[in-house]
Amino acid sequence: MSEVHVLGIRHHGPGSARSVAEALDELRPDLVLIEGAPELDELTDLAGDPDMVPPVAALVYASESPRLSSFYPVASFSPEWVAMRWAARNGSQQRFLDLPAVNALAIAQGIAEERERRLAEATAPGADQPEEVDEAADAPANGAEAGADERARRAPSDPITALAAAAGYDDPERWWEDAVEQRTDSVLDRFAAIRESIAELRADETDPDSPILDGGALHIDALSDPVGEAMTAVREAAMRKVLRQAIKDGHQRIVVVCGAWHAPALDPATFPPVAKDNRLLKGLPKVKAAAAWVPWTASRLSYESGYGAGVSSPGWYRHLFDHWAAGFDHDVAMSWLIRVARALRQQGIDASTASVVEATRLASTLASLRGRPSAGLSELDDSALSILADGNPIPLRLVHDDLVVGRELGAVPERAPLVPLAADLAAAQRATRLKPTAAVQTVTLDLRTPGGLARSILLHRLVLLGIGWGSPTYAGRTTGTFKESWQLEWVPELAVAVVEASLFGTTVASAASAKAAELAREATSLRDLSELISRCLTAELPVHDVVQTLADRSAVNTDVAGLLGAVEPLAQVTRYGTVRGVDTTEVNTVLRAIVARGCVGLPMAGVGIDEESAAALVKAVDAAHAGLTLIEDDALLGQWYSALGVVAARDQVPGRLAGRATRMLLDAERVDRDEVGRRMGTWLSPVLDPVDSAGWLDGFLAGSAIILIHDPGLLALVDGWVAGVATEAFEDLLPLLRRTFTQFAKPERKMIGEQVSTGAREDDVRGDWDLAAAAPGIGAVARMLGWEAA
């Protein structure tokens, strides 16, 4: 007859972990069953590997849709990890029991699809709008009752917290220490007491709805709550199925380590009939699933995923467990405050040894006043605030993440099962000496060195794959374009992104190439394609197919704004490609073809278009102009300025476009100021619609007031036009003018106001100078400035 012991624990609870270790040492089971998807059984042999360093997480994911996934994170103080390590050290078998991931992930997928369908129906034209719910009316009138309801609702997720709250504790670990660890009876009796308490909490449960409707479809409303009665019943039926099989296999002593809420349901003495459990599991959907170990971080232990009870103070819990494991129960408060003082000193804040002793005494006194046998984190925080920080909370905030949360990043052995892409990425990280860390770090890469270039290529490929390990940042003042700055931060969720990207290939290079091909097929604009070419070249990926796609689409594209939008990214590739040593011949050929077609179509593209289309066209013209002036190609610039000249001279185009073209020609010295003054006078004529005039002015100024400040003649034209606008029209123009002039810097607006207020006019500043009479003065000023006379 098999002997079964069920240990109900709090996920990530160091007190639970300590009790589990004691119970396992006492029971010496030949089989340890741990809450978790059975797919994790294939990973158990790695639990004893010395290279497995928590925090880590077991990842289960749908093979064909890796985004559909779930994590089971564990830390050194997690009871599940303690059980795994104990079984590995003592030669006991270990397995997992829970609803298989093939079913759990399929249920999650079905719920997501049903929610999307319902949302689409609710937002469809003509759909009835849901009635508004008066939340205030529905809420309980008694705040205490509301809190109790919330605790009851959360109980399946974290019943230990519910019991602690019922006893008046804000920290479940302190309650566990006081109510469980301080008891002198057997550790097994303590777990029995926990199980009885949970059984009392669950005494009023009724049989849940079936997870499958009569037609064979999922009962979405019943299963949508992951800690609801229906989903809990399905999971516990699956757990009992595994436990029954273990008993049938002949194991003599079995220990089950599971969340405390499930403990009463896994007592063989209270098992329901097998047929009842089978009915709950029959007909559940399935997907193909796989599992792997991935590194985790201390900060992510606060997330509620897999082992649902997130913890807000993993650094403190690790400190507790490490001291308990070492047998130093009495030294917890003092050693913690020593760490706080050391961290404060590293921040340049004085914290003496005497103050640490005083803070420890204060924490113990606070615990006594609060009726607790020992100081917990809240007492230590209060004493540190009062003694070490002199009542100022800011210094403690500086060290909170390092101490209370922690910045540890776990590690998995090289022999751990990985998707091929993850293995190739790990090899690339080692080759480039880019070590993943949980802390945010900034690295500056010198593209002239092989190492810097290799790191840049790897990071650009990962960005293309959607693996956001690094993001480009401002590199600061440099002497050229050979430097890149990246901000790196490895978060555990990137493991899912790697698995998703593995659908494109088995290596970083092949997967990035395949991803680029897919992005090229899905691109909806020429600019998207031209930007993709730039991304491929920086990642040293083949661009022939993408360039050919761009050439083919641009050849049949009649959207001038779309053509011009593709110019700037291609120009940047042509300009800076030599920094990386890439061949830009193909790109240059396509660029010239696109510029030629854009220049031919631009003059007619602006005729007869509305304001919104004009704004989009002006934006495309700005982008193309920035790109073409970047590469300084005389032939391309000649075509471009010729097209702008035609646009600027036409009166059928929107004023904003004509004004913008005129300003570009003036800046390039392709038109003189007298001609600009003539055109401004024409567009600001009283016979034209003031809205068109304001549009021309907005396009011409383009956020830069320098030309008005240094050319009083043009300023006089603008001043005269504004003064001559009728009152009714001026009220309509005011928002447009405000938009134009608020783009100027405050000092620029002030200088314009001063010049206008003095009544400066063109006649005042354009007199005939007597240079002969002024020559002595000019020479004197030149000598004072150190200039040589011409």
Residues 662-706 pLDDT 10s: 989 988 889 888 888 888 788 877 777 878 888 888 888 875 677
Top mean pLDDT of 183-187, 515-519, 652-656 is at 515-519
Q: How large is the average pLDDT for residues 19-44?
A: 95
- In 384-464, alpha helices (H): 393-400, 420-432, 450-464
Burial (0-12, 13-18, 19+ Cβ within 10 Å), 685: exposed
Kindly report which listed range (51-65, 382-396, 743-757, 763-777) carries the lowest average pLDDT score: 763-777
pLDDT of residue 619: 93
Q: How large is the average pLDDT for residues 629-657?
A: 90
- In 227-306, alpha helices (H): 229-248, 274-281
Kindly report which listed range (60-74, 356-370, 635-649) carries the lowest average pLDDT score: 60-74
pLDDT of residue 610: 85
Neighbours of 331 (CB within 10 A): 13
Question: What is the SS3 string spanning 495-535?
Answer: HHHHHHHHHHCCCHHHHHHHHHHHHHHHCCCHHHHHHHHHH
Q: Are strands 289-295 and 65-74 parallel, antiparallel or unpaired?
A: unpaired
Kindly report which listed range (60-64, 274-278, 640-644) carries the lowest average pLDDT score: 60-64
Own/partner long-range contacts of 647-654 (Cβ < 8 Å, ≥24 apart): 647/602, 647/603, 647/606, 648/679, 650/603, 650/606, 650/607, 652/606, 652/607, 652/608, 653/603, 653/606, 653/607, 654/606, 654/609, 654/611, 654/614, 654/692, 654/695
Closest by Cα among 621, 464, 484, 578 to 532: 464
Closest by Cα among 409, 543, 413, 436 to 498: 436
Q: Which residues pair with 96 in a beta bridge?
A: 34
Amino acid identity of residue 592, one-letter, is R
Residue 785 has pLDDT above 80, yes or no: no
Residue 304 has pLDDT above 60, yes or no: no
Residues with Cβ within 8 Å of residue 78, at least 6 apart in sequence: 11, 12, 13, 17, 54, 307
Please name the helix (run of DSSP H) or strand (run of DSSP E) that holds residue 186, with its range, or none.
none
Closest by Cα among 151, 152, 81 to 301: 81
CA–CA dist 247, 452 (Å, integer): 59
With contact defined as beta carbons under 8 Å apart, do 75 and 81 qualify? yes
Q: How large is the average pLDDT for residues 400-413?
A: 86
118-154 burial, b at 16+ Cβ within 10 Å, e below that, comes to eeeeeeeeeeeeeeeeeeeeeeeeeeeeeeeeebeeb
pLDDT of residue 218: 81
- % residues pLDDT > 70 (the chain): 88
> Sorting pLDDT into bands at 50, 70 and 90, what band is 25?
very high
Kindly report which listed range (113-117, 184-188, 729-733) carries the lowest average pLDDT score: 729-733
pLDDT of residue 574: 84
CA dist list (Å): 509 to 454, 501, 546, 587? 12, 11, 16, 21
Residue 633 has pLDDT above 90, yes or no: no
Residue 764 has pLDDT above 60, yes or no: no
Q: How large is the average pLDDT for residues 512-536?
A: 91
pLDDT of residue 479: 46
> Sorting pLDDT into bands at 50, 70 and 90, what band is 99?
very high
Q: Tell me the per-residue pLDDT of 441-465, one tens digit each, with 9 for 90 and over.
A: 999 998 889 999 999 999 999 999 9
pLDDT of residue 580: 63
CA dist list (Å): 498 to 67, 70, 422, 423? 10, 14, 6, 10
pLDDT of residue 310: 61
CA–CA dist 243, 101 (Å, integer): 17
Q: Are strands 93-97 and 31-35 parallel, antiparallel or unpaired?
A: parallel
* Mean pLDDT for all residues in the chain: 84
More confident residue, 340 or 438: 340
> Sorting pLDDT into bands at 50, 70 and 90, what band is 759?
low
Q: Tell me the per-residue pLDDT of 121-144, one tens digit each, with 9 for 90 and over.
A: 887 776 665 454 444 334 333 333
For residue 776, cis peptide bond before it (omega within 30 degrees of 0): no
CA–CA dist 727, 711 (Å, integer): 27
> Sorting pLDDT into bands at 50, 70 and 90, what band is 609?
confident
pLDDT of residue 150: 41
Closest by Cα among 632, 148, 77 to 318: 77
Helical packing angle, 420-432 and 450-464, nearest 10°: 150
Q: Residue 778 corresponds to which tokens in the numbers above? A: 């000019």
pLDDT of residue 329: 65
DSSP string, 638-706: HHHHHHHHHHHH-SSS-HHHHHHHHHHHHHTTSS-HHHHHHHHHHHT-TTS-HHHHHHHHHHHHTT--H
